[in-house]
Amino acid sequence: MHFAYIPYPTTGYQAGDASWQLTAATFVGLMSLPGLAVLYGGLVQKKWAVNTMLMAFSAFSLVLIVWTLWGFDMGFGKPWITFGAKVAGSGTGFVGKPGTALGSGQEAQANIPLLNGLMPPFNFSQSALFYFQFVFAAITPLLWLGSVIGRMSFKAWLIIVPLWSTLVYSVDAFMIWGGGFWAGMGAVDYSGGYVIHLSAGTAGFVAAAVLGPRLRRDRDRGAPNNLLLCATGAGILWLGWNGFNGGDPYFAGPDAAAAVVNTNICTATALLVWLIMDYLLSPAKKPTLLGSINGMIVGLVTITPAAGFVDGFGAICLGVISSAVVWLAWYKLQPRWIFNKVDDALGVVYTHGIAGLCGGLLVGLFADPNMIEYTGTGGTGSFSIGGLFFTGRWHQLIVQAGAGLTVIGWTALMTFLIFKVVGLFVKLRLPDEVLETGDLAVHDEEVYPPQELTRAPILAAVAAGTAPGDEPAEVAETAAPSKPVESGTGASSES
Amino acid sequence: MHFAYIPYPTTGYQAGDASWQLTAATFVGLMSLPGLAVLYGGLVQKKWAVNTMLMAFSAFSLVLIVWTLWGFDMGFGKPWITFGAKVAGSGTGFVGKPGTALGSGQEAQANIPLLNGLMPPFNFSQSALFYFQFVFAAITPLLWLGSVIGRMSFKAWLIIVPLWSTLVYSVDAFMIWGGGFWAGMGAVDYSGGYVIHLSAGTAGFVAAAVLGPRLRRDRDRGAPNNLLLCATGAGILWLGWNGFNGGDPYFAGPDAAAAVVNTNICTATALLVWLIMDYLLSPAKKPTLLGSINGMIVGLVTITPAAGFVDGFGAICLGVISSAVVWLAWYKLQPRWIFNKVDDALGVVYTHGIAGLCGGLLVGLFADPNMIEYTGTGGTGSFSIGGLFFTGRWHQLIVQAGAGLTVIGWTALMTFLIFKVVGLFVKLRLPDEVLETGDLAVHDEEVYPPQELTRAPILAAVAAGTAPGDEPAEVAETAAPSKPVESGTGASSES
Amino acid sequence: MHFAYIPYPTTGYQAGDASWQLTAATFVGLMSLPGLAVLYGGLVQKKWAVNTMLMAFSAFSLVLIVWTLWGFDMGFGKPWITFGAKVAGSGTGFVGKPGTALGSGQEAQANIPLLNGLMPPFNFSQSALFYFQFVFAAITPLLWLGSVIGRMSFKAWLIIVPLWSTLVYSVDAFMIWGGGFWAGMGAVDYSGGYVIHLSAGTAGFVAAAVLGPRLRRDRDRGAPNNLLLCATGAGILWLGWNGFNGGDPYFAGPDAAAAVVNTNICTATALLVWLIMDYLLSPAKKPTLLGSINGMIVGLVTITPAAGFVDGFGAICLGVISSAVVWLAWYKLQPRWIFNKVDDALGVVYTHGIAGLCGGLLVGLFADPNMIEYTGTGGTGSFSIGGLFFTGRWHQLIVQAGAGLTVIGWTALMTFLIFKVVGLFVKLRLPDEVLETGDLAVHDEEVYPPQELTRAPILAAVAAGTAPGDEPAEVAETAAPSKPVESGTGASSES
Amino acid sequence: MKLVSAIIRPQELDPARRALAAFGSPGLTVTATSVATRWNRRLEIYRSTVLVADLAQRLRVDVLAADEDAADLAAVLARVAAAAAVRGGGDDTVGVWITPVEQAVRVRTGERGAGAV
Amino acid sequence: MKLVSAIIRPQELDPARRALAAFGSPGLTVTATSVATRWNRRLEIYRSTVLVADLAQRLRVDVLAADEDAADLAAVLARVAAAAAVRGGGDDTVGVWITPVEQAVRVRTGERGAGAV
Amino acid sequence: MKLVSAIIRPQELDPARRALAAFGSPGLTVTATSVATRWNRRLEIYRSTVLVADLAQRLRVDVLAADEDAADLAAVLARVAAAAAVRGGGDDTVGVWITPVEQAVRVRTGERGAGAV
Ligand SMILES: Nc1ncnc2c1ncn2[C@@H]1O[C@H](COP(=O)(O)OP(=O)(O)O)[C@@H](O)[C@H]1O
Ligand SMILES: Nc1ncnc2c1ncn2[C@@H]1O[C@H](COP(=O)(O)OP(=O)(O)O)[C@@H](O)[C@H]1O
Ligand SMILES: Nc1ncnc2c1ncn2[C@@H]1O[C@H](COP(=O)(O)OP(=O)(O)O)[C@@H](O)[C@H]1O
């Protein structure tokens, strides 16, 4: 196979682009593990930290299996179910034909069937494209994990994540990135404001509604457990986002650098806006670290659909607008109506859902046609993205709105169905006595294990009449099976 | 615009160099967030961790705004105030003409006006250069944050950081990197031993002097709060430094790799020297983790101005000399005279100031002219950097000394003025009762929040005659505005 | 020197490959610091966290010194002691001729003498190759550190690490990677399943046996201290491994991307297999975070020797087989016989030793000849690696077995000798009263320092009749030398 | 003056405080403690090693009470704790006892004796 | 023998110890505890959620004292605590009380009774 | 009824519990505390700053005992602690004392008085 040669093919390959694609993908991977895992692990109550982190690690793994065996092709493969929907130039259908990404053929030049001719040929192999797209697919369920922590059954999580990734993520991705319907309509999403964040916010909210709220006691005592780890995760998120947005032009070109710069400008602006609003408008009139991290995330999410389309000025505007909007939603909406009823534990619907939607729509206003230009090969002329303020035309804004609503609708509907259907077979929610305890009841682990735990319980020894000092270590080992139940009850009585 | 095309221009662009520049910049960014934020967050007392980290996150954001709107051009743009100072070949003036870095023009080929013709043209876009230089500008105030933690008013910090970045950092950068006076004189600073570390050490010491010491009680009880996070931050610093020094040739060439290797050699040497001196010479005769981390930082800082100029042998010498010097300063100077009076909380003046100066001067001795050679285009002949031991000429040492003194002088003077002037309008120092409490009084947050905090205080409920079990969650929400004061006093009485 | 020119030579250099090599090396470095340092720091008892992390930081530094002064050439230089062993095409000898890697010559094109003509010439400088290989050499002792924590003398560690790196690592590396005997025989190890992990597992087990077990009390109470940091370290390990395996083709080509993908597929599979086996077969029938992290590490280690040789299907098989095997060893072997006697504290022999061996052997079965093809220059024809299932020939499996046994034998023998010999001069094991205390006795530091520690002890003040409030800070300083002993006893009485 | 001391489970602190408040004596001291237990072991598992805690985490509640109230307060606390014990399915770790106090000073007011509760 | 127990604020530990030392009885036990408080609530805010602690962190100081010293020791501690209370602007969380001790053993020396303090 | 209280070093908890169990009274409460100490300072060093802890971490063990057992239990605990003190090379931080208890309730069974131990 020509592509298997070391170093690499002489045509259709650019080591610099391949290097950047793999690097960017790795930064995005770090956003999930350890980034989100420890950000969420530090934000939840102490009693839920282990469960939260294990949900993150397991989801990351599950999505990769799905992605390898059928998911990638459903998102970026040949069109499957098209209802004859045919759109000028491209835009065929809603989902790709499932297929595996195994085999040495993956070393061939990367290629997204429906985009052939619409963008220059890739300069790296299919494996690189596969992996880059995987880290995006993987982070999405980790994001809405923030909505369901503190009551969702771990078993249900293991079942739902693969289904969700297949039925929701792949479809959203195909419609907008894979050359599906909305791509054909001209809707754009630079690196996932819709496909990832709007979708995660929607899914999280619906999931939280179906699951019901956490224990009253947990909602009342929902203090984080470790702000140092929140900062660790947050920092990795910010800088990792350079790969998130910088990798999406698929080339290490000027637009990649511009996307990185815009990402940071919008984020800095949003962080400061949130911090200042906390300072001036919050009840306590104090700037807070967790508030600033919220603002930071809002900025990162908002710029995501726009990173390479807007210029620096646009990036600042997006940061200001979106941060203010989400801040208001967070303070004014959250305590009210359905937003108070539905227990979106970490507020994913605000910092990801609303922020992602803002960003997607603002592309329709602020996209600067001079930022990126696709040299059309294969017949089609070259095109670029221009928003209302530059082109005076509403078209972009309208298709952005259409795509956004489609994502919300499809994601909400399917998430609801998936949870309901799975709920018929397994309990979605942990029983209350387990919720009382948390990690200990679910995993027999605590995030900060007490150091006096011992393999040789005194009273047992006393009862057994043996001095623990001399009994062999195995004893303790074999003690386990004898009291699996006690572990449960014992734990829940100790929460 | 030609530069907006995907993938990228066919001339004056190299995807490999662009990839490395963006990657290196991201590593440097990670050194600030989460690196320094959690290193410092773990090194300070528990009561100050949140405040310290929020100062880091906010400064990082503030500097980017400044950098975008006027700072970058002041450091790397066309000369502004020149006092007719004109130096052979280049070296014009002391600061650049302010200007914004917004707009799609940033996608054009990178370019530092005064260096045109002195180095080969850049192989990437201006955005990439802008971002790479930003992460350097951003980390500088985060470094001297270590000197002022534990008493500086957060509001004052928000005001001073932008001023400092504008009036101090931009000028130092322009003089040495932007083609300003000292660049013209032939002074070199590979990646910021002077512009960043010497400047940070000086600024920190002056700022600490102006602010006055922490509470006596805090100085007496200044134990760190979490060494695991110190190690996390330290590790990110070390490896992130590969981007810090590896990115500075602006090309992914042999010198970049050499700089990375030298950085690690010097750091390993310095760490071991400090560890061994602790082992043999410290009062307790014990090696310590925090001591070793000090040594590590000294090594990283020392090699910074020299990374691509010295060879492996030079890197070892720099590590040994600088680590020994700073170790002695740390143990012998710190407890004495002004060094004891001025409360440089985390000792930035030693590990960054003195170490940076050492490195900068030692370039004048150890620079190996075979390490890097600039092929002069545009008429000027190619040149390289040689230290006394290789060339037998003192010139390099002398200009290095001159540049170092200029940085110390300018930084000290301006930092003093900035603090004094801002001090006329806002209190620089927090009131003592707030210092008693720390994070809780300033941000209403604790780094390890107690898990029994609740939204439904018992006695309140009792007083109100309601059983907390059933009152709606909003109640607690709305409770906030009613007692903003109590939060203050309550907190400070609980420190 | 031609190679010193900026940007870089016009032939034999590819910025994209150089960029990837440096980036990959940095990711691998991050796996050690902070990755392994905090993973282990969180996994050990609270009383040993500082000691464990300092051992990691110091070993990383020591290996670099060794690597610079003689190690690199012993692993990748010209053959030294060959016993006339000459093998068709290449494969000469067992170790390279010691030599330094100082001097500006390191900027010349990279080159491994015995591989000339067998693979295409490198596209980057020797410094880049040196650094990339260093991070591998450095992580190896950090891995088996996990076996000896909690009783090994820090001084002995400082002496043994350089010896081990010289006598064990360099030899293993030369035989398999440097073009030594087993390379000549056709044995392969993509990025260190043998050279790094099998070797680390073996060394750890032998070292633990020679050192003897931890205190009975510590073995009985061996609870971790912080699972959030375990997750932080684990996440960095996983994603850092993209550089570990992705950097080893030495070119940013399709095989690098394939290796990254396989790494992640195998890891995800292994993590899920372990999680499910915990769920269904463990005594407590519960999935655990630390168990999943074990599975993750097993997957990463298993794919390491195979990453670029197997296809996606092979990666899945490796994950399933190896995870199941190691899970069984962990649960069934560990509590029995010698495996219970020898106190391999963190189980390195299972997750690295057995997993590495599995991976190395499975290459002999699953290697897909279409994955990688070395275009032979210099006369030799091009070759590729094929396993039993593809070629039907046993040869690869046999040489893999031979290489594996050689690594086990040599590593076990030399590790034993090194410990025994060093043991003649320094105590390898800390005295029991120090073990009672841990960090405080060894380093005078605690991982979570109590915040009430003070420089002005009350009783002293009272005794001295002075009010602490006013005595100068120096007093405390100078107090140190006066009671170095007390520090020891004091500490050990407080463990 | 008496000091009424009770060992209760963490979950029962709020009920206990409400009961005390209802009884009209909101003041109390809460101290984290642990008690030996035969029946309330806790099992934790780290990397397949089974570790057991046979000290159960409990709270010690101390209330200063006037002589005449002491017995009733003890009864109040015992009732709260019992409720827990039952729900917890038999708990051997809870108890209440009363010790005499010779003198008490309420610092804020300087009152002494019973008035100082 | 008496046991003098006091609830004080963390900041007052050093003054208290100096006072005790000056009084000639340096020995004491310090235990972290918390007390219900009407007036010393602490407010914390995480992600805009206002959380309240109406248990204030305090220290419990126990000192074994000879019968004749007990009252004075209590007074000493009360004075220290009061100073705090006042500075803190009215504090409802501090108190001192004395309980009888029937017997005490100083382990180091084996002395019993008053001598054992 | 008596309450026997002892201050012991963490390492001595297991021996103490075994001794108590052997004595036939497995029940006890363990509370983390610290005691002032002249002779058992702990030194820690962070970034070359020497910090001292002159409060030594100890455990306070409380055992409810029947009147007749109290003295013996105290002796038992004193012996355990003494062993430690000696091994520790002279320890000034350990002590045992007994206070009277007027009434005790074993919640699980509802028994009162001595039976409730
Ligand atoms: N048994 C006790 N142990 C410790 N502190 C107590 C005890 N009883 C009362 N207090 C403290 O004394 C404080 C004052 O009692 P309280 O009934 O609240 O009167 P006031 O609030 O008017 O001072 C209580 O808030 C509590 O902190
Ligand atoms: N009330 C008390 N509660 C607990 N421990 C006490 C008490 N009084 C004294 N001790 C302990 O007994 C130790 C010995 O008392 P001290 O007056 O220091 O005599 P010495 O130091 O000569 O043994 C004290 O350091 C303290 O730890
Ligand atoms: N002095 C004490 N202080 C606190 N709790 C105690 C004390 N003595 C006994 N207990 C608690 O009461 C529990 C019951 O005592 P125990 O002798 O175990 O009888 P049973 O287990 O049959 O209830 C003990 O496990 C212990 O937790």
Give the C-alpha separation, A101 to A3, whole Å. 16
Name the band, by pLDDT with cuts 50, 70 and 90, for residue B482.
Answer: very low
Torsion of CA A129, A131, A132, A134, to 10 degrees: 120
Q: Which residue has the higher pLDDT, B283 or A463?
A: B283
Question: Which range (A39-48, B61-70, D30-39) has the least confidence?
Answer: D30-39
Concatenated DSSP letters of A425-479: HS-SB--HHHHHHTHHHHHS--SS--TT-BSS-HHHHHHHT--GGGS-HHHHHHH
Question: Which range (A36-40, A371-375, B393-397, C481-485) has the least confidence?
Answer: C481-485
Q: Which among B230, B163, B223, B191 has a CA at the least distance from the CA of B27?
A: B191
Kind plus residue range of the DSSP H or E element containing B384? strand B383-384
Give the C-alpha separation, C79 to C85, whole Å. 11
Q: Measure CB to CB from residue D97 to each of F17, F30, F104 and give the nearest one.
A: F104
F residues 4-43 lying closer than 8 A (beta carbon) to A: 14, 17-18, 21-22, 26
Give the C-alpha separation, A196 to A173, whole Å. 8
Ligand lying closest to the C-alpha of residue D101: 1
Q: Kindly give the interhelix angle for C49-66 and B289-303, rounded to the nearest 10 degrees.
A: 40
Q: Would you mind telling me the total number of residues written for chain E in this entry? A: 117
Residue E59 has pLDDT above 60, yes or no: yes
Pairing of strands A373-374, B5-6: parallel
Q: Decide: residue E35, CB within 10 A, 0-12 exposed, 13-18 middle, 19+ buried.
A: buried
Name the band, by pLDDT with cuts 50, 70 and 90, for residue E39.
Answer: low
Mean pLDDT, chain B, integer: 88
Ligand lying closest to the C-alpha of residue F107: 3
Which atom of ligand 3 is found nearest the CA of D39?
21
Write the DSSP symbol of residue B67.
I
Question: Which range (B456-460, E85-89, E92-96) has the least confidence?
Answer: E85-89
Whether E50 and chain B come into contact, CB under 8 Å, resolves to: yes
- The nearest alpha carbon in chain B to C44 belongs to B228
Ligand lying closest to the C-alpha of residue D24: 1
Task: Note whether C483 contacts F43, CB cutoff 8 Å.
Answer: yes
Q: Measure CB to CB from residue C102 to each of B45, B220, B311 and give the nearest one.
A: B311
pLDDT value, residue A481: 34
pLDDT value, residue A197: 97
Task: Note whether C271 contacts A6, CB cutoff 8 Å.
Answer: no
Query: Testing the interface with B: which of F47, F50, F51, F54 to mutate, by most B Cβ within 10 A?
Result: F47
Task: Note whether C34 contacts B285, CB cutoff 8 Å.
Answer: no
Name the band, by pLDDT with cuts 50, 70 and 90, for residue A478.
Answer: very low
What is the Cα Rg of chain E in Å? 17
Residues of chain C found within 8 Å of residue D50, distances taken between Cβ atoms: 283-284
CB C444 within 8 A of CB F53: no
CB C214 within 8 A of CB C151: yes
Query: Testing the interface with B: which of E39, E41, E59, E93 to mutate, by most B Cβ within 10 A?
Result: E41
Q: Which among C235, C206, C248, C224 has a CA at the least distance from the CA of C24?
A: C248
Give the C-alpha separation, E11 to E13, whole Å. 6
Q: Give pLDDT tens digits for F21-77.
A: 888 777 788 999 988 876 667 888 998 888 888 788 889 999 888 888 888 888 888
Measured by CA distance, the residue closest to atom 14 of ligand 1 is E92
pLDDT value, residue A469: 40
If DSSP states are collapsed to H, E and C, what string results for chain C?
CHHHEECCCCCCCCHHHHHHHHHHHHHHHHHHHHHHHHHHHHHCCHHHHHHHHHHHHHHHHHHHHHHHHHHHHHHHCCECCCCCCECCCCCECCCECCCCCCCHHHHCECCCHHHECCECCCCCEHHHHHHHHHHHHHHHHHHHHHHHCCCECHHHHHHHHHHHHHHHHHHHHHHHCCCCHHHHHCCCCCCCHHHHHHHHHHHHHHHHHHHCCCCHHHHHCCCCCCHHHHHHHHHHHHHHHHHHHHCCCCCCCHHHHHHHHHHHHHHHHHHHHHHHHHHHHCCCCCCCHHHHHHHHHHHHHHHCCCCCCCCHHHHHHHHHHHHHHHHHHHHHHCCCHHHHHCCCCCCHHHHHHHHHHHHHHHHHHHCCCCCCEECCCCCCCCECCCCHHHHCCCHHHHHHHHHHHHHHHHHHHHHHHHHHHHHHHCCCECCHHHHHHCHHHHHCCCCCCCCCCECCCHHHHHHHCCCHHHCCCHHHHHHHHHCHHHHHHHHHCCC
Residues of chain C found within 8 Å of residue D48, distances taken between Cβ atoms: 282, 291, 330-331, 334
Q: Which residue has the higher pLDDT, B23 or A372?
A: B23
Q: Which among D67, D78, D59 has a CA at the least distance from the CA of D20?
A: D78
Question: Which range (A173-187, A479-493, B13-27, B151-165) has the least confidence?
Answer: A479-493
Neighbours of E115 (CB within 10 A): 13
Q: How far is CA E101 from the centre of its chain?
A: 17
Residue A264 has pLDDT above 70, yes or no: yes
Residues of chain D found within 8 Å of residue F3, distances taken between Cβ atoms: 97, 99
Looking at CA atoms only, how far is residue C462 from chain F in angstroms?
11
Ordered alpha helix ranges (H), B44-179: 49-66, 72-76, 126-148, 154-164, 170-176
Looking at CA atoms only, how far is residue D21 from chain B in angstroms?
7
Question: Which range (A58-62, C279-283, C285-289, D10-14) has the least confidence?
Answer: D10-14
Phi, psi of A397 (to 5 degrees): -60, -40
Q: Give pLDDT tens digits for B369-421.
A: 989 887 655 555 667 899 999 989 999 999 999 999 999 999 999 999 999 99
Mean pLDDT, chain D, integer: 78
Residues of chain C found within 8 Å of residue A454, distances taken between Cβ atoms: 220-221
Question: Which range (A182-186, B40-44, D35-39) has the least confidence?
Answer: D35-39
Mean pLDDT of A99-104: 90
Residues of chain C found within 8 Å of residue B221, distances taken between Cβ atoms: 451-455
Q: Quick one: residue B150, left, alpha or beta (phi over 0 = left, psi -120 to 50 = alpha)? A: left
Looking at CA atoms only, how far is residue F43 from chain B in angstroms?
10
Say if ligand 1 is within 6 A of residue D29 CB: yes
Concatenated DSSP letters of A91-131: -B-SSBPP----SGGGGSBP--GGGBTTBPPPSSBHHHHHH
Mean pLDDT of B322-330: 96
Residue D14 has pLDDT above 80, yes or no: yes
| Token duo for residue C37 | 């340092």
Ligand lying closest to the C-alpha of residue E29: 2
| Ligand 1 centre distance from Cα of residue E70 (Å) | 21
pLDDT value, residue C458: 63
Give the C-alpha separation, B439 to B432, whole Å. 13
Residue D114 has pLDDT above 70, yes or no: no
Name the band, by pLDDT with cuts 50, 70 and 90, for residue A105.
Answer: confident
Say if ligand 1 is within 6 A of residue D27 CB: yes
β-bridge partners, E60: E7, E31
pLDDT value, residue B155: 96
Residue D88 has pLDDT above 80, yes or no: no
Residues of chain C found within 8 Å of residue E26, distances taken between Cβ atoms: 459, 462
CB A141 within 8 A of CB A165: yes
Say if ligand 3 is within 6 A of residue F81 CB: no
pLDDT value, residue D93: 54
Name the band, by pLDDT with cuts 50, 70 and 90, for residue A374.
Answer: confident
Give the C-alpha separation, C338 to C335, whole Å. 9
| Token duo for residue E3 | 């046991």
Looking at CA atoms only, how far is residue F95 from chain A in angstroms?
23
pLDDT value, residue B487: 34
DSSP-derived 3-state class of residue B152: strand
Question: Which range (A368-372, C86-90, C392-396, F5-9) has the least confidence?
Answer: C86-90
Pocket test for ligand 3, best of F108, F109, F111 (most atoms within 8 A of CB): F108
pTM for this entry:
0.91
| Token duo for residue C314 | 């092979």
Handedness of CA A17, A193, A411, A395 (dihedral sign): negative
| Ligand 1 centre distance from Cα of residue B465 (Å) | 19
Task: Note whether D44 contacts C221, CB cutoff 8 Å.
Answer: no
Mean pLDDT, chain F, integer: 78
Give the C-alpha separation, F115 to F117, whole Å. 6
> How many interface pairs between C and D have CB atoms less than 8 angstroms apart?
27
Q: Kindly give the interhelix angle for A126-148 and A15-30, rounded to the nearest 10 degrees.
A: 20
pLDDT value, residue B493: 30
Q: Kindly give the interhelix angle for B355-366 and B395-425, rounded to the nearest 10 degrees.
A: 160
CB C187 within 8 A of CB C87: no
Which amino acid would we find at residue A35?
Answer: G
Name the band, by pLDDT with cuts 50, 70 and 90, for residue B330.
Answer: very high
Residues of chain A found within 8 Å of residue D47, distances taken between Cβ atoms: none
Phi, psi of E31 (to 5 degrees): -130, 130
Residue B209 has pLDDT above 70, yes or no: yes
Mean pLDDT of B135-146: 97
All partners of chain A with 3 or more CB pairs under 8 angstroms: B, C, D, E, F
pLDDT value, residue C381: 60
How confident is the prediction along chain C (495 residues), in pLDDT tens digits per residue?
Answer: 456 677 888 888 999 999 999 999 999 999 999 999 999 999 999 999 999 999 999 999 999 999 999 999 999 998 887 665 554 444 578 889 899 999 888 989 999 988 887 888 999 999 999 999 999 999 999 999 999 999 999 999 999 999 999 999 999 999 999 988 898 888 999 999 999 999 999 999 999 999 999 998 888 888 999 999 999 999 999 999 999 999 999 999 999 999 999 999 999 999 999 999 999 998 889 999 999 999 999 999 999 999 999 999 999 999 999 999 999 999 998 888 888 889 999 999 999 999 999 999 999 999 999 898 876 555 556 678 899 999 889 999 999 999 999 999 999 999 999 999 999 999 999 999 999 889 999 999 999 998 888 886 665 655 555 444 433 333 333 333 333 333 333 333 332
Q: Which residue has the higher pLDDT, E66 or A401?
A: A401
Q: Would you list which residues of chain D are within 8 Å, Cβ to Cβ, of chain E? A: 1, 3, 17, 26-32, 64, 99-108, 110, 116
β-bridge partners, D62: D5, D29
CB E4 within 8 A of CB E73: yes
Mean pLDDT of A253-264: 95
Task: Note whether A459 contacts F26, CB cutoff 8 Å.
Answer: yes
Q: Decide: residue C417, CB within 10 A, 0-12 exposed, 13-18 middle, 19+ buried.
A: middle
Residue B143 has pLDDT above 70, yes or no: yes
pLDDT value, residue C374: 76
